């Protein structure tokens, strides 16, 4: 039995004051809208339907907290980069994310979800800078790897690692649909969640 098999939904936050209690350790999943954040959480925890998956980009506008064990959480952050989002919502997202990253002491690391067909974009790089500036760990999941052939997926992995080579950021291929990279992702997360 892994710690992921006991996962359960805790709460959703639309506002800063609604965040789950800031105790223990948590790992946040961030990335562009539609990159596959919610799907990755469901795949890693092997709980279909835990985090809501949608074909409509920008669907998850809330910060969703999932508990693995007392004081161990996964956090599904709202996606960025969806062009059709109204300015008012974009501003709200920015304020909420800034608040979350600034105050969150239990945040140990960020799993950055990147669609392997797009590769690391400017906003993804900005997200990594943001988290590194706050002395947190980061790991990139290049997801939807089932959509690429071996040559292309290896190329995007190489390029991503090269882009992060000045940092401690790690990267791997991942596919929820083809079950690629689950163990590798869990091994990273297990390390992050260890400790008091
Ligand atoms: N082929 C393939 N499709 C995937 C994979 N992961 C996610 N998808 C699809 O990508 C779409 C978006 O997935 P979500 O998990 O909802 O993405 P998200 O990042 O949570 O999106 P927002 O919450 O809107 O920001 C869905 O149609 C998924 O089925 C994957 O590994 N392979
Ligand atoms: Mg989502």
Q: Mean pLDDT, consecutive 10-residue segments, the chain of 196 residues? A: 88 94 97 93 90 64 92 94 81 92 97 98 95 96 98 98 95 97 97 85
The per-residue pLDDT for 137 is 97
pTM: 0.95
Radius of gyration of the chain (CA): 16
For residue 86, what pLDDT is reported? 83
**Ligand 1 centre from 147 Cα, in Å?**
12
Q: pLDDT value at position 147?
A: 98
Q: Is the CB–ligand 1 distance for residue 181 below 6 Å? A: no
pLDDT at 57: 58
**Residue 53 alpha carbon, nearest atom of ligand 1:** 16
User: Is 146 touching ligand 1 by the criterion CB < 6 Å?
Assistant: yes
Ligand 2 centroid–CA 117 distance in Å is: 18
Q: What is the rounded distance in angstroms from the CA atom of residue 70 to the CA atom of residue 60?
A: 25
Ligand 2 being an ion, which residues bring their Cβ within 5 A of it?
37-38, 60
User: CA separation (Å) from 81 to 105, 121, 155?
Assistant: 26, 10, 24
């Amino acid at each position: 039995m892994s710690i992921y098999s006991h996962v359960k939904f805790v709460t959703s936050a639309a506002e800063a004051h609604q965040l789950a209690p800031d105790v223990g350790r948590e790992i946040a999943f961030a990335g562009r809208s539609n990159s596959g954040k919610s799907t990755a959480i469901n795949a890693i925890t092997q709980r279909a339907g835990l985090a809501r998956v949608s074909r409509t980009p920008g669907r998850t506008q809330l910060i969703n907290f999932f508990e693995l064990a007392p004081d161990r959480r996964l956090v599904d952050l709202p996606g960025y980069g969806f062009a059709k989002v109204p300015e008012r919502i974009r501003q709200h997202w920015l304020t909420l994310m800034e608040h979350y990253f600034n105050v969150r002491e239990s945040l140990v690391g960020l799993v950055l979800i990147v669609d392997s067909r797009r590769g690391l974009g400017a906003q993804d790089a900005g997200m990594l800078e943001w988290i590194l500036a706050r002395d947190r760990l980061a790991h990139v999941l290049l997801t939807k790897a089932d959509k690429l052939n071996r040559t292309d997926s290896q190329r995007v992995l190489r390029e991503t690692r090269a882009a992060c080579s000045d940092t401690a950021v790690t990267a791997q291929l991942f596919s929820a649909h083809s079950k690629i990279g689950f163990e590798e992702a869990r091994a990273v997360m297990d390390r992050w969640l260890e400790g008091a």
